[in-house]
Amino acid sequence: MTITVQKYGGTSVGTPERMRAVAERIVRTKEGGSSVVAVVSAMGDVTDDLLELAAQINPEPPEREMDMLLATGEQVSIALLAMAIHALGHEAISFTGPQVGIVTDHGHTKAKIMEVRADRVREALAGGKIVIVAGFQGVTQDGHITTLGRGGSDTTAVAVAAGVKADVCEIYTDVDGVYTADPRVVPNARKIDVLSYEEMLELAASGAGVLNLRSVEFARNHGVVIHCRSSFSNEPGTIVKEADDTMEQAIISGVAHDTSEVKITIRDVPDRPGKAAAVFTRMSEANVNVDMIIQNVSEAGMTDISFTTPKADLVRARRAAAAAVSDLGARDWLVDDSIAKVSLVGAGMKTHPGIAAQMFTALSDAGVNISMIATSTIRITCVIKADQVQTAVRALHDSFGLAEGIDIGEAVPAAGSAGEGEDEQL
């Protein structure tokens, strides 16, 4: 008997009607001959309502109690979904994260999964039951309830799939797969059938919102096959798995973009060893996530250091930047909050030279100026002006012929990016 893990986000279970539709899909899968474990998020606005309530009580609530509060959102969902399945005449049993043994570290509100003891899930499956598991939550070794932070339910689903050795982990969202670009920006973007973990990781890290980065890392580390698909249709979506010879090998998978970051520049830093370390130690101490970093050529013993960071970290980043300027005797610091990142991702980049040149040319031809560049073996990212992001994404999608989906060996083929993922907690 195969085992299918299915993950449903907050929109998919947002109303009693949608909850019933999810129950029906689960039952169809079960009747189709597979054991089913469903991992669910909190219903629609529940988490926002809880956050609002907490803010009224304490503007800076302790994170442990925040987790205690937020974990109730998924617990409501699992109970109701189990009830909905019973109403269809099937047996279902719900478990919280702590109950199925999702053991995490103590990082309240953004805990990391250390171990999954899925015994109770396996036993319930062996008893013929449909198992419903609360996403987004776990428990520390010493019994404190934790939550996993943004995208946590995807990670729960993949972790449970690894724990029960599931044949596939289906992630249901409100889009029907991973696209060569965000279809709202590029109308002829093409759905990608298969992606390797590496490509999906680079796409997710570059702003393609369909799958959460940590869940893809977890899947890669445990060999879990992910099927990313729509909860509103029965069409197949995008499969993410280990690259193998049978996989269509695209040179370029897709174009991703991200407008959630800001650029901070520290100007006229005396050009001595250790200055970059001093800046980023300050950022790290302030719990600021730093993404891209560039340092300009030194001029008259002075240099500028620029980096990007999520808008969410901006308040802390400003404080840390001021401290770094003072530490280093630098001139000042600037924030540019109207930037965007546009990234080209593709496993074929490793072996096909000239991709970077083609990318820069395409952007230049479209009148898009590049202010920062960063690369990995299978990704090139440029920072551009936020108001040019749509122009840039379309130009790259066209230039690399991603709409056509041409196989390798022919011209420049296709693979994927964006479309926004379903609303997740936090």
- Identity of the residue, 82 or 320, whose beta carbon is nearer to a copy of itself in the bound complex: 82
Residue 24 C-beta: closest distance to a copy of itself, Å? 13
Classify residue 112 as exposed, middle or buried by CB count within 10 Å of its CB (0-12, 13-18, 19+).
middle
Dihedrals φ, ψ of 206, to 5°?
-100, 5
CA dihedral 50, 421, 379, 264 (to 10 degrees): -40
With residue 145 as reference, give the H or E element that holds it: strand 145-147
By CB under 8 A, name the binding residues for a copy of itself. Answer: 16, 19-20, 50, 53-54, 56-58, 61-62, 64-66, 68-69, 71-72, 75-76, 78-80, 82-84, 86-87, 92-94, 96, 99, 120, 143, 145
The amino acid present at 60, given as its one-letter code, is E
Residue 77 C-beta: closest distance to a copy of itself, Å? 10
Closest CA to 113 of 47, 178, 39, 8: 39
Residue 365 C-beta: closest distance to a copy of itself, Å? 55
- Identity of the residue, 15 or 188, whose beta carbon is nearer to a copy of itself in the bound complex: 15
- Identity of the residue, 134 or 415, whose beta carbon is nearer to a copy of itself in the bound complex: 134
Query: What span, in angstroms and rounded, lies between the C-alpha atoms of 175 and 393?
Result: 19
- Identity of the residue, 70 or 175, whose beta carbon is nearer to a copy of itself in the bound complex: 70
CA dihedral 318, 321, 326, 330 (to 10 degrees): -130
End-to-end CA gap in the chain: 36
Q: And the tokens for 380?
A: 């090139």
- Identity of the residue, 44 or 413, whose beta carbon is nearer to a copy of itself in the bound complex: 44
Tell the residue number behind the tokens 């925040």, with chain if given.
66
Residue 39 C-beta: closest distance to a copy of itself, Å? 15
- Identity of the residue, 145 or 185, whose beta carbon is nearer to a copy of itself in the bound complex: 145
Residue 125 C-beta: closest distance to a copy of itself, Å? 17
Quick one: CA dihedral 241, 178, 176, 11, positive or negative?
positive
- Identity of the residue, 22 or 224, whose beta carbon is nearer to a copy of itself in the bound complex: 22
Residue 226 C-beta: closest distance to a copy of itself, Å? 28
The amino acid present at 35, given as its one-letter code, is S
Residue 233 C-beta: closest distance to a copy of itself, Å? 23
Residue 75 C-beta: closest distance to a copy of itself, Å? 5
Quick one: CA dihedral 78, 210, 217, 237, positive or negative?
positive
Strand 130-134 to 34-40 pairing: parallel
- Identity of the residue, 57 or 277, whose beta carbon is nearer to a copy of itself in the bound complex: 57
- 231 and 174 in contact (C-beta within 8 Å)? yes
Classify residue 105 as exposed, middle or buried by CB count within 10 Å of its CB (0-12, 13-18, 19+).
middle
